[in-house]
Structure 1
Amino acid sequence: IYRHLRFAYPTYIFDDINFEIDDNGTPYWVCPVKKYNIGLFGGQTVGRVVLCNAVTGEMTDYSVDEVPTWVDKVYSAELLIDLYDYNGSLKHGFINSVLSQKDCLKTTDGYNYIALEDDVWVYTGITSVGQDNSNVGFVLMNQRTMETRYYEVSGAEEYSAMDSAKGRVQNLGYTATFPLIINISGQPTYFMALKDGAGLVKSYAMLNIEKYQNVAIGDSVLQCESNYIKLLKDNGIVEEQQPEVKETKKVKDIISKIMPVVIDGNTHMYIMLSQNDSIYDVDVSKYVDIIKYSEGMEITLEYTMDSQLNKVVGIIK
């Protein structure tokens, strides 16, 4: 591929090439072209992008602002982080970045990816140049357009959060993955997986960024989220909302289809009735009598309506 590109564009200096597929399933090599803005080889960005059809070899040269929207990666994560570090450290000039370092910021050591608005964004924390273990915010950087969004959220630095999560299960010797930042009940939250020595995911952890002593662990994502929300409520970080009271309805009909499913380790029965197309969800741990029923039998259910599943709250004999 590099020789193919060199014959067609002998004056271009290409950055790292990546492989992507367009919306029609056609494979392409995405080839960013380096652009130097300072001197001969300083101030590197991306000026153009060459798309090479991986099947036919046909190439199309685009300006960086005309790249098709199906392309995910034009700017590498490393390049985006370097550019942000330049911006953060040189805010008040080069001399300040060396001597007083007033208002100088830098990215933290790790980064991760977030799919957002049909694009891939690089996520990393922002901390002061001085050696500390806290963040002053975090930044999202679009790998196609280089758009950058800064969010001011003071709290734990990613590796400190990973150590805190590992500390909750230190007897098991798990290691934590680099965290993602998510919004849980309006709270900025680190979410990470905990792996054993073989690299298998064994549990999950959520940690409040601003109040990072609040850590919740769960064997599944749903259990972890439930434990985390309960922890936030118990510590007064979020207000406990009154549960919504849903109207209970009753239906009596013949079972046309019944099927067992396992949800988070618990067995549920999904039931369809002959007179409608709705699906009724019965938690076997709460209504064990459901195992006595089969297709063709008459059943009377109490349930609350939902958009996808009607949750059964009672079986009337």
Structure 2
Amino acid sequence: MKDADMHIPTYQDMLDAEERIRPHIRRTPIRHSDYLDELTGAQLFFKCENFQEPGAFKVRGAANAVFGLDDEQARKGVATHSSGNHASCLSYAAMRRGIPCNVVMPRTAPQAKKGTVRRFGGVITECDPSTTSREATFAQVQAATGGDFVHPYNDPRVIAGQGTCSKEFIEQTDGLDMVVAPIGGGGMISGTCLTLATLAPETQVIAAEPEQANDAYRSFKAGYIIADDAPKTIADGLLVPLKDLTWHFVSNHVSQIHTASEQEIIDAMKLVWKHLRIVMEPSSAVPLAIVLKNPDAFRGKRVGLIVTGGNVDLDRLPWTPTT
């Protein structure tokens, strides 16, 4: 997709995406825990996008982009840069359509995520762990392959696809006071804003971000995009900065952005593993971490938390000692 094709996706785009991707995704379940409700003083509803076949919500936007291509472009395949989950999900969608997928990934990306990309037939080119390196390496890969660029988040097709998650969420819970999702580049948050602004305008959208990669928080406070080139956090899915399309939704529709420390993220991740008995990756634990950190903001509310992914390296869990 060329820059000239960029437009702000609409609610109708989300509905069209829902129809297009239905054969290729799962309507993921909701989980809750009496213990976590008691601990936080809120009713917490966890939308388990980690149960998607590639293990992350990003299959929604990826499938919408892949299956929206005309046959001529599809023959050239798709290409992207990603720290992991978008790469996995785009590879999965491309595999289902039978087209090539080339992805640029940081050399520091978890092996579990690289393994998933390769399992779905994606071809990986590694780069240094910075936004600058990702984008420069990607430009070379795309020039060589001619694949359609499916941006991990700053793409109207991707945002419309991600918006289908919140439509399901509202339908499955009979309404929520708040929806909390992690924020990195802002694809899921943007899709959430897109859907809820029309379907449930009374529902607040709250973004959750690591303290050590808090450029969205600082952007929100400043009123313009502040981009960090190479932040470091265990929440490896939240390392990228906002872009123009996602900033549109964040600046116009997000009610608040809260941040959590590395230890708070790990503690929340442990709680979910123990009490919900599901595998989530660190990025997915940030929403619960901010609820635990800011109890007065959520107490007595019906709060939806999007578990964005479960692609974690089981041999390198963040609470295990490294040698």
Q: TM-score, normalised by structure 2?
A: 0.19
Q: Which has the higher contact order (CA 8 A, sep 6+)?
A: 2
Higher helix proportion (structure 1 or 2) = 2
Higher strand proportion (structure 1 or 2) = 1
Pair member with larger Rg: 1
